[in-house]
Amino acid sequence: MPYVGFRSVERHGRFINVSAEGIRKTVQPELNPDQPVTNIFTFGGSVMFGQGNEDWNTIPSILAQSLHQSGINARVTNYAAKAHVSTQELLTLLTLLQQENIPDTVIFLNGYNEGTAVRPAGTSARSNVESAEFQLLNRKSNKLQRAYWLAVLHDSAVVKAMKWLLKKAGLYKPASSSSPALRFPLYPDVESSPFAQAERLLQVYQTNRLAIDSLAKTYGFNALFYWQPMIAHKNRLSESEKFIQTEGLLTFRNTLYQAARDYEADLSRQGHYRSLQDIFVDDLKPAFVDSVHLTAYGSKRVADVIAGDVLLLSSRSIEVDREESK
């Protein structure tokens, strides 16, 4: 798909199937030919894509099943892709509209990946490899890129083990405090506090939402936006979740999520926005397979919330049609 940068790679297997166009398979009931079809497009990163789950346990697949059980003749298409951010999702939607592929409802699940989007205005990810976090930062020079990876390696468990062995052998000399690997900040491009960086990211996210809402009004579809949960906000961990390593991985994401919480009133003022940060806060069941990706149970909880909102929109639409027919 042009301008988007990258999509998921084609794959066909027992549990995971992705088309040549990069669309993850949605397992859904057969459509009723005697009823009008509600076309629903879902967008997001790897969580909406369904990383860690089989085709039938992705959020879009569970959503399709739930809507079918509620009498909605819905066709759900999963346009999510690993590592995508809201800007790429907006461009994906715009491309679909240019192709006259008009939905009835679009659903966006964002949050975690927005924390990788600090980069100069006017640039975009160019490949799946370059969607890694250090490439999505606002880079100043190749020297900074190299320093970033030195910092990452410095904190890795493998390198720490190697250092321990070298120390034992008397062959390791620690780096000086002036080493760029030790001084290199995670987000070197923005000379501001982490919270100010988070505010900038939220501004980009909100701008994309406003653009999508404008397209929705022009083309006559509904747009639903959700801020995704992550394990850092789960107070009661299951036995399996206790083994998930998050230390050092979520520092900036926590700041971004706190900013989203602080600005929730502003984010909710325009269109339909719902934060799912606390959906698992006191849930003892295993909802996460890692810091952000969901189990089948976690996917169902999120899908059920979305299904409830879609059903509410459907009922309001029916009421409007009734009023207009009088």
CATH number of 11-138+187-325: 3.40.50.1110
Edge-to-edge order in the sheet of strand 74-78? 74-78, 38-44, 105-110, 222-227, 272-275
What is the model's pLDDT at position 207?
93
What does the alpha-carbon distance between residue 255 and residue 269 come to, in Å, rounded to a whole number? 22
Q: CB of 111 within 8 A of CB of 84?
A: no
What is the model's pLDDT at position 3?
76
What's the average pLDDT block by block, 10 residues per block, for the chain (326 residues)? 82 96 96 94 97 97 97 96 94 96 98 74 38 37 43 50 58 45 37 82 93 96 97 94 76 90 90 96 96 96 97 74 53
What does the alpha-carbon distance between residue 18 and residue 50 come to, in Å, rounded to a whole number? 11
Name the residue ranges covered by the structural domains of the chain: 11-138+187-325
Tell me the CA distances in angstroms from 307 to 61, 64, 189, 268, one per residue in order.
Answer: 11, 8, 40, 19
* C-alpha angle 235-271-310 in degrees, rounded to nearest 5: 70
What is the model's pLDDT at position 197?
86
Residue 106 forms beta bridges with which residues?
41, 223
What does the alpha-carbon distance between residue 248 and residue 157 come to, in Å, rounded to a whole number? 12
This prediction has a pTM of: 0.78
What is the model's pLDDT at position 196?
87
What is the model's pLDDT at position 125?
39
Instruction: State both tokens at 260.
Output: 């989203």
What does the alpha-carbon distance between residue 117 and residue 191 come to, in Å, rounded to a whole number? 16
Backbone angles phi, psi at 11, to 5 degrees: -155, 140
- Interhelix angle 86-98/194-219, nearest 10 degrees: 20
